[in-house]
């Protein structure tokens, strides 16, 4: 009988452990959803101060986009936040949707599609684009930080398109 109770206790402990791991992953996914919301706000406001709170300051951080790529937070702040977002547009509204988040320990990534509406600073004209984005995260000192972003336009179809 002790053997059966011992097995039941081990199974219960294992079940509890797996449940706790599942809850931890749920908390991580929620933290990353909040991080994505902060990222959206940083883009909408072209806010480098907010960017510094959500991006890792590690030298290997990168941002790949249709106009090129940036390496390191200083380049991302200068070229994406100040130049592309701040100098090009007077108003910005990024709206992500269909967000999927995947967590693996202290590493994670998300993928989502987005709509971007803006007002061109040069002539006040409207601008709209759609795309998809992958973000990679690392947990640093208990906080999730962005270490990589890669975005592109919507997929194209047709014979020999999209190469």
Give the rounded distance of the alpha carbon of 147 from its chain centre.
9
Measured CA to CA, the distance from residue 17 to residue 62 in angstroms comes to 36
Residue 8 lies in a domain: no
Residues 62, 77, 48, 113, Cα dihedral to 10°: -50
Q: What is the pLDDT of residues 4-16, one digit of tens each?
A: 556 655 555 555 4
- Whole-model pTM: value is 0.83
Contact 93, 116 (CB under 8 A): yes
Sheet with 89-104: list strands edge to edge. 68-71, 62-65, 143-153, 126-140, 107-120, 89-104
Question: Containing H/E element for 134?
Answer: strand 126-140
Q: Determine, yes or no, domain membership for 47.
A: yes
Instruction: Write out the residue range of the structural domain in which residue 120 sits.
Output: 27-153
- pLDDT the model gives residue 18: 45
CATH of the domain at 100: 3.10.450.50
In tens, the pLDDT along 10-40 reads: 555 555 454 444 556 899 999 999 999 999 9
Does some domain include residue 69? Answer: yes
């Amino acid at each position: 009988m002790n053997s059966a109770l011992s097995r039941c206790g081990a199974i219960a402990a294992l079940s509890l452990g797996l449940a706790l791991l599942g809850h931890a992953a749920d908390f991580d996914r929620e933290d990353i959803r909040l991080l994505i919301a902060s990222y959206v706000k940083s883009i909408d406001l072209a806010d480098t101060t907010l960017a510094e709170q959500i991006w890792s300051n590690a030298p290997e951080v990168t941002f790949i986009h249709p106009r090129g790529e940036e390496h390191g937070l200083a380049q991302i702040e200068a070229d994406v936040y100040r130049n592309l977002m701040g100098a090009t547009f007077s108003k910005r509204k990024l709206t992500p949707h269909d967000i999927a988040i995947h967590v693996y320990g202290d590493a994670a990534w998300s993928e989502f599609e987005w709509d971007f509406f803006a007002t061109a600073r040069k002539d006040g004209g409207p601008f709209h684009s759609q795309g998809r984005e992958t973000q990679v995260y690392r947990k640093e000192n208990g906080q999730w930080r962005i270490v990589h972003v890669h975005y592109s336009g919507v997929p194209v179809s047709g014979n020999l398109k999209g190469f």
